[in-house]
Amino acid sequence: MAMESKFEHNKVEAKIYSEWEKSGAFEPRGQNPYTILMPPPNANASLHAGHGMYTIDDILARFRRMQGYAVRWIPGRDHAGFETQFVYEKNLAKEGKSRLEYDRQTLYQNIAKFVEDNSGLIFEQFRRLGFSADWERAVFTLDPQVVDMVYQTFRRMVNEELVYRSDYLVNYCPHCGTSLAELEINHVERTDKLYYIKYGPLTVATVRPETMFGDSALSVHPKDKRYTSYVGSEVLLPLTTRKIPVIADSMVDMKFGTGVVKITPAHDPNDFEAGKRHKLPTIRVIDQLGRMTLPKDVMISEINGMKVKAAREKTVEELQKIGAVEKIDEHYLHAVTVCYKCGRDMEPMTVPNWYIRVEGLKSPVVTAIKKKKTRFYPQKFEKQILEWMKIMHDWPISRQVVWGIRIPAWYSTTENLDLGVTFLNKEGKPVSGKIGELLKTSTLTEIEAGLQTLSAPTMAKYVVSESKPAGDYLQETDTFDTWFSSGQWPLVTLKEDEYATRYPTDVMATMADILRMWVSRMMMFGLYVRGEVPFKNVYLWSTVTDAKGQKMSKSKGNVINPIDLVDKYGADAFRMALLFGNGEGGKVPLVEDKVRAMRNFANKIWNMARFYLLMQEGIKREKQGVSENIEDKKILKELGEVEKKMTSLLEKYRFAEAADTIYHFLWHTVADEYIEQVKKREDKGVALNGLRQVLLDSLKLLHPFMPFVTEAIWQEINPGEGMLIVAKWPEVR
C-alpha cells in the first residue's frame, strides 16, 4: 500500500504512541541501568512553553534505550504547596470566600479535592509530545513513601541538631500568609513618601512611620560629629510614653536623610542585626495578617488592628497634630521588596520558623562538584552553583500554608501555656489567644477540631512524631517548604532494590533558574542521607521565550500555547524547533515560522521515503553487500561520520548541534545530492540498497528528536522488523 502523499501528524501520533505504550517500550530492557528523573511539574499545571524543554529528557531516554541501556525515566508531580494554595485561594475569592472561613483540616481536604479535579492533564499533554516516560512509576510529592522519607530525614536532622527554631527575621507576605526564602522575593523600584519625623531634638527620615511603635533606639554613625553629643542619651518616642536610647553604629549611612535612623529590630533586616549587636528589645507591631498589634505604651489606641496602609496614614495624621512631622518628600525613589507571587509588599517581621543549619551540609556538595562526581552542562553552571554554595545561609524550611507536608512536631499544651492559637469555635467564629487562657473556656478537643494556626515561641518544648503522642498535644500547623520535600526527589523516586544499580541516577535535566533552589538541595540531601551525589550529570535547559527573546507572561500577552502548535504542525515539529539553530543554556525564541519549517522538514523526509518505496516497485533489489558505486561509498562514508558525530554530541549533551547535524545531512546531503544521483543511476537495484541503508540509519539518528514521523516511516519501509523506538542505535563505523 502506497504511503500518503504527505505526513498527516493528526492521523498517526495517537496511534503510534498507543503502540509504544502497549508494547512496554517505555519500561527498562537490557543490562546496563540508565536512570533519568523527571522534574515534577505542579500537579494541577497544564502545559506551557517551558515544559517543551522536557524534550531533552526524552531525547536522552530514546538515545540510551536504542544503545541497549535499561532506561527508566521516572515521572512525577509536585504538590507545589504555596503555588497551589495561592491558585486555590484565588478561586475561593471569586466565590466571595476566604481560607480564614475554614479550619485547617477542612481547608487541606478542599485543596486536595481541587488538585485531584485539576491534575492529570499535564501527563496527557506530555504524551502528546511523545515523552517516553515510565508512567506506571509516577510519584506524587504527597505519596505516603515521600512523606515517610521526609519525616525520616527531618527526625534524623533534629536528632543531629541540624534543625533549630528561631525568631529570625523573615520576609513575610501577609496576603499569602507565609514567609518566603530570599530566592522567592522580587525587588521593584517605586516612588513613595519619605517622612521626616522629630524625635525630640533629632529628626529621622523614614518611609515606614507606622513601624515606629516598634522602635528600640535611634542610631547615628560613630564618626558623625553632628550627633556625637547625643550618643548615650534618651529621646521620647512620639505618640508613646516610652523613651529609647541613641546609639552609634557604623551601619548608618550619614548621607541618607538626616543621618539619624530609627532601629526597629522586628521589622527590618539591618535593624535586626543592629538590635542583636546592641542587645535591644525586639518589639513586633505588625501581625501575620498584616494588621497593627501595638504595645501598651502607645497612646493612640485606634491604630491597633488597622491594616498597614491605613495605620501609616493615621500615624502621620497624629504626628502632624503634635507638630512632629518636619517635612514630607513626596517623590522618594527606592527599592521595595515584594512577593514574587502576588506582587504585594513583603513585611519583614519576626515569626517563629524552623531552620536547617547548612554549613556542614554545604561542604560535601562543594567537594563532590570539584571532584567531578557531578558534572554540569553547559559547564558555566558549575561556577554558578559553587558561588551559590559559598553564600547560602541557613535555610528556613517552614511555610505558613496548609497545603503540603505538615511538620511532625507536637507541643504539650500543659508544658507550653503560651502557645498562640487561632481556631474556629462551634459557631464557626475565629477565636485567638494563648492556649493557657483558651483552655479555660474551650476543650482541647474543640480547639483541635477547629484549629487554624498555631504559633509556638521559639523555646517551646516539642516532640517529633509521625502520629499524635498520647496526652494533651497539638501539632505544628506549619508545613515544610516545597523544596524540602522535592529536594529529596532522587531519594523518594527509586525503589529500595534499585539503589544498588540506579543511584546515583545518570542525569538530571531541569531549568537553569532552579539550580540554586532545587539542584543544590538535592545534592545536599543526597550526600547527607546516602553519602553519595544523587546524579552524575546535570543539564540545564535553555529558557523558552517569545520571538523577541522576552520571557512569556500573561500580563505581556505573549504566551504561546504549545498544544496549539502541536495541533497545527505536529509534536515532532514543535520538539525540533526548540533545538534546531539554538545553542545550549541560553534562550530559545519560540517562533511559529520555525515550527512550520520543522513541519516542512518532517514532510521532506516523508517524501524521501515515498520516493524510495515508489522506486522499489518493479525493481529487484540487489542482495546486500559492499557496493562498489562511488556515490554509495561516498554517502556511506559520510553517514558513518554523521553517526560518529551524533553519538559524540549526544554523549556530551550538545543537543542543538546534534539536531542541526542530522537536519543538514538529511536535507542537503541525502535529499539534495544523493537522491538526485540515485534518480539518474542505471543500477537501480544496487542504488536501492544504498538508499535503504542511509534512510534506515538516518531515521535512527533522528528518532530521539522527531519520534513520530520517524516511527511512521520506519514501519512503512521496514515492515515486520519491530518498532524503531527499540531498534539498535547505529554502530559507529
Q: Which three cell numbers stand for residue 276?
A: 542583636
Question: What whole-number distance in Å separates Cα of residue 57 and Cα of residue 61?
Answer: 6
**39 shares its domain with 100:** yes
Answer whether residue 1 shows pLDDT above 70.
Answer: no
Mean pLDDT of the chain: 92
Q: Can you give the CATH number for the domain in which 218 is found?
A: 3.90.740.10
Helix axes 592-616, 684-702, angle to 10 degrees: 150
Helix (H) or strand (E) holding 66: helix 55-66
Sheet with 430-434, side-by-side order of all strands: 430-434, 420-424, 451-455
Strand pairing class (543-545; 587-589):
parallel
Sign of torsion over alpha carbons 428, 434, 440, 443: positive
Q: Which helix (H) or strand (E) holds 149?
A: helix 144-159
pLDDT digits (tens, 9 = 90+) for 506-534: 999 999 889 999 999 999 999 999 999 99
Structural domain contains residue 662: yes
pLDDT confidence of residue 620: 64
Which residues, in sequence order, are CB contacts of 533 under 8 Å at separation 6+?
368, 373, 374, 504, 523, 526, 527
Question: pLDDT digit string (tens) for 586-607?
Answer: 788 888 999 999 999 999 999 9
In a domain, 26, yes or no: no
User: How high is the pLDDT of residue 54?
Assistant: 95
pLDDT confidence tier of residue 350, bands split at 50, 70 and 90: confident
Mean pLDDT in residue range 340-344:
82
Give the C-alpha separation, 221 to 207, whole Å. Answer: 20
CB 670, CB 608: distance < 8 Å = yes
Q: What is the reported pLDDT for 685?
A: 84
User: 622 falls in which pLDDT band (50, 70, 90)?
Assistant: low
554 confidence band (pLDDT: 50, 70, 90) = low
- pLDDT tens figures, 122-175: 999 999 999 999 999 999 999 999 999 999 999 999 999 999 998 878 888 887
Task: Specify the DSSP class assigned to residue 456.
Answer: -
The three grid cell numbers given for residue 619, joined into one nine-digit string: 525493481
- Closest Cα to residue 369, out of 352, 384, 391? 384
Asked whether residue 15 is assigned to any structural domain, the reply reads no
Are residues 62 and 161 located together in one domain of the fold? yes
**What pLDDT, in 10s, does the model give residues 353-366?**
899 999 999 999 99
Q: Are strands 420-424 and 430-434 parallel, antiparallel or unpaired?
A: antiparallel
Same domain, 154 and 278: no
Grid cell listed for 217: 533606639
**Nine-digit cell string for 36:** 533519568
CA distance 286 to 12: 61
Query: Looking up cell 548541534, which residue turns up?
Result: 657
Query: Can you tell me the mean pLDDT for 675-680?
Result: 90
DSSP label at residue 176: T
Q: How far is C-alpha 195 from the chain's CA centre?
A: 39
Q: What is the CATH number of the domain that holds 621?
A: 1.10.730.10
User: Can you state the angle between helices 55-66 and 630-651, rounded to 10 degrees?
Assistant: 120
Return the higher-pLDDT residue of 30 and 415.
415
Do the domain assignments include residue 262?
A: yes
For 405-503, where are the E strands, in sequence order? 409-412, 420-424, 430-434, 451-455, 463-464, 473-475, 479-480
CB neighbourhood size of 201 (10 A): 11
Q: What is the pTM for the complete model shown?
A: 0.85
Spatial CA neighbour of 214 closest among 293, 329, 118, 130: 293
- Are 308 and 376 in the same domain? no
d(CA 384, CA 271): 30
User: pLDDT category, 624, cuts 50, 70, 90?
Assistant: low
Assigned C-alpha cell, 260 = 539619624
Residue 430: cis peptide before it, omega within 30 degrees of 0: no
48 shares its domain with 117: yes
Strand order in the sheet with 169-173: 178-180, 169-173, 347-350
Domain boundary among 350, 381, 399: 350
CATH number, domain of 380, equals 3.40.50.620
Q: Is 317 exposed, middle or buried (0-12, 13-18, 19+ CB in 10 A)?
A: exposed
Domain count, the chain: 4
In a domain, 554, yes or no: no
Assess whether 43 and 109 both reside in one domain: yes
Distance CA(542)–CA(654), nearest Å, equals: 12
pLDDT, residue 90, reads 86
Q: What is the pLDDT of residue 330?
A: 95
DSSP letter (8 states) at residue 291 = B
**Which range is least confidently modeled, 24-33, 484-493, 625-634?**
625-634
**Main-chain phi, psi angles of 115, to 5 degrees:** -65, -45
Q: Give the domain-ending residue among 454, 477, 500.
A: 477
**Secondary structure in 3-state letters for 196-217:** EEEECCEEEEECCHHHHHHCCE
d(CA 427, CA 337): 39
Residues 382 and 272 in one domain: no
Q: Is 323 helix (H, G, I), strand (E, B) or coil?
A: coil
Yes or no: say if 593 and 690 are a contact pair by the CB < 8 Å rule. Answer: no
Residue 220 burial by CB count (10 A; 0-12/13-18/19+): exposed, middle or buried? buried
From 438, 460, 477, give the residue that closes a domain: 477
Residues 204 and 290 in one domain: yes
What is the pLDDT confidence band of residue 343, given thresholds at 50, 70 and 90? Answer: confident
Quote the CA–CA distance of 400 and 107 in Å, as a whole number. Answer: 13
Summarize pLDDT for 43-73 with one digit per residue, the tens: 888 888 889 999 999 999 999 999 999 999 9
Tell me the percentage of the chain whose pLDDT exceeds 90.
75
Cβ-count burial of 279 within 10 angstroms (0-12 exposed, 13-18 middle, 19+ buried)? exposed
User: Hey, is 57 helix, strand or coil?
Assistant: helix
Q: Do 371 and 502 lie in a common domain?
A: yes
Tens-digit pLDDT profile for residues 78-117: 999 988 998 898 899 899 988 889 999 999 999 999 999 9
List the beta strands (DSSP E) in 311-373: 325-339, 347-350, 353-356
Dig out the grid coordinates for 497 from the structure: 532494590
**593 and 710 both lie in a single domain:** yes
In the prediction, which pLDDT does 555 show?
Answer: 67
Residue 7 falls within a domain, yes or no?
no
Q: Mean pLDDT, to the nearest integer, of 185-204?
A: 95
Domain interval for residue 427: 410-477
For residue 199, the model assigns a pLDDT of 98
Residue 365: inside a domain, yes or no?
A: yes
Helix axes 655-664, 684-702, angle to 10 degrees: 160
Is pLDDT at 280 greater than 90 in this prediction?
yes
Distance CA 178, CA 176 (A): 6
* DSSP labels, 1-47: -PPPSS--HHHHHHHHHHHHHHHTTTS--SSSEEEEEPPPPBTT---
Q: Considering the domain boundaries, does residue 629 fall inside one?
A: yes
In this structure, the answer to whether residues 212 and 276 fall within a common structural domain is yes
Backbone angles phi, psi at 406, to 5 degrees: -70, 135
Q: How confident is the model at residue 194 (pLDDT cuts 50, 70, 90)?
A: very high
Shared-domain flag, residues 200 and 152: no
